Amino acid sequence: MSHPLGLAPSKIIAVHLNYRSRAQERGRTPREPSYFLKPPSSLAAHGDAAVRPRGAEALGVEGEIAVIIGERARNVPLESAAYHIGGIAAANDIGCYDLRYADRGSNVRSKGADGYTPVGPAIIDPAEVDLHDLAIRLWVNGELVQEDDSGGLLFGFDYLIADLSRSLTLEPGDIILTGTPAAPPIVRPGDVVEVEVGDGGRLRTVIAEGEEPMSGPGALPALSEKDRRDAFGEPAGLGLPDETERNLRGVATATISAQLRKRGIHHAFIESVRPAKPGTRLLGRAHTLRYLPLREDLFEKRGGGYNAQKSAVDSIRPGEVLVIDARGDSHAGTIGDILALRVQRAGGAGIVTDGAVRDSGSFADLEIPAFAAFHHAAVLGNRHVPWEDNVAIACGGALVEPGDVLVGDDDGVVVIPPALADEIAADAAEQERQERFIYRQVDAGHRIEGLYPLSGEWRERYQQWRDGAA
């Protein structure tokens, strides 16, 4: 089916993160743009519907400025790149967060579905507008939700064209989606979304519901904890029910480990880490940071300046724990007191590293809980290359994903899958109530038989004690 504006791109290229307002919201600023491809079959027109898969929760819409290539571009210099723009239009970069996990980064299924790239309602002549001051707005059901302008871009239209044309040929009609500003909303079936660029009219899209639930083969809608937070925003506090949070703050990591083992999870304890101050308790959500072994040429590229370590520290949100994968290497520090103080001031809930900390004396004076395997005076560049954050990592032999729930005490730190947090917290609290009762009976001189574990008459007596204590 042909597009009413005659658009027939050979490719649609989208930028992951390109507005200062959005970078501030996400807590990270890219040094260079990164891209993903949307298939031409995702192209839609003004007035078309976009379908949220039945069973999905989070369909996101993003108002964007579409740059339409007018002249073939290959290896074009920055100073002349803008001459290759043939048109400007409003665009809506639609994506289903529930499918993002399936093609992390490439967004093939989450953003590549039919109808997920509406463009229109008209093409604006670039010669008639100021490309550095183009307004972009998005409304949902008549309410203004997003508003910014092209002056807020991290990388301008000319930069994107010059950058992309170094690696691939931009053909006439190709479309570059130049990024979305802060606060892109989640929409529901029945919502009407409108996007406007400059005075080019409003691009209208109606959100519909899929007629049948998605079925196999292949990935099905599933909203991870991180994607839920990205879609709906950071929940208040830890995003846990009050009772769950209260229980987790009171139970021991040994008890939690026992509850995890009952559910078949045997490798959730972060080995060898100890608190900087005895008696420290930790509870928070994981924000991960991964170090790779030192390679001098790559450290020169990725270790200096505003590297992944500093970006991760600046990205910490209230309630998050910075968890560092240092491969258990004891020969260099992984974080010092200045960056640790930054985590504290940002509202971070703690720091955990299976490597070493520098300035260990200062760590004991900080309010933020810190758990480390070693102390070492050398800087991280002695052994590590800071590589990336908010990815799955290994820390102290445990796999940690962003958003995992971490609990720490004098024994160390344990990782709880978010989906199990409520039931593990409740069962761990009950287990410790039973153990307090048993301890009192043993202290009073009673035999272990029938008492530990509770059975028969002793279980009945425990129930009476618990009801009375309640």
Tell me the C-alpha distance between 195 and 42, whole Å: 17
Tell me the C-alpha distance between 39 and 374, whole Å: 49
Contact between 327 and 289 (Cβ < 8 Å): no
297 is in an annotated binding site: no
Whether residue 322 is predicted with pLDDT greater than 60 in this model: the reply is yes
pLDDT tens digits, one per residue of 238-284: 778 889 999 999 999 999 999 999 999 999 999 999 999 888 999 99
- Backbone torsions φ then ψ of 429, nearest 5 degrees: -65, -40
**18 is written with which tokens?**
């390109």
**377 is written with which tokens?**
């005076």
Q: Is 41 helix (H, G, I), strand (E, B) or coil?
A: helix
**pLDDT value, residue 254:** 94
Architecture of the domain whose range is 267-416: 3-Layer(bba) Sandwich (3.50)
Helix extents (H) in 27-132: 108-111
DSSP 10: S
CATH 3.50.30.40 maps onto the chain at: 267-416
- Backbone torsions φ then ψ of 183, nearest 5 degrees: 65, 45
pLDDT tens digits, one per residue of 32-49: 999 999 999 999 999 999
**pLDDT value, residue 236:** 44
Contact between 425 and 243 (Cβ < 8 Å): yes
At residue 133 the predicted structure's pLDDT band, cuts being 50, 70 and 90, is: very high
For domain 12-232, the CATH superfamily is Fumarylacetoacetase-like, C-terminal domain (3.90.850.10)
Mean pLDDT of the residues in the chain = 92
314 is in an annotated binding site: no
69 is in an annotated binding site: no
Helix extents (H) in 98-241: 108-111, 157-165, 225-232
CATH 3.90.850.10 maps onto the chain at: 12-232
Whether residue 28 is predicted with pLDDT greater than 80 in this model: the reply is no
359 is in an annotated binding site: yes
**pLDDT value, residue 234:** 58
CA 141, 146, 148, 149 dihedral sign is negative
pLDDT tens digits, one per residue of 413-447: 999 999 899 999 999 999 998 888 988 999 999 98
pLDDT tens digits, one per residue of 342-389: 999 888 999 999 999 998 777 778 889 999 999 999 998 889 999 998
278 cis-preceded (ω within 30 degrees of 0): no
Tell me the C-alpha distance between 378 and 54, whole Å: 54
Helix extents (H) in 81-195: 108-111, 157-165
358 is in an annotated binding site: yes
Contact between 50 and 44 (Cβ < 8 Å): yes
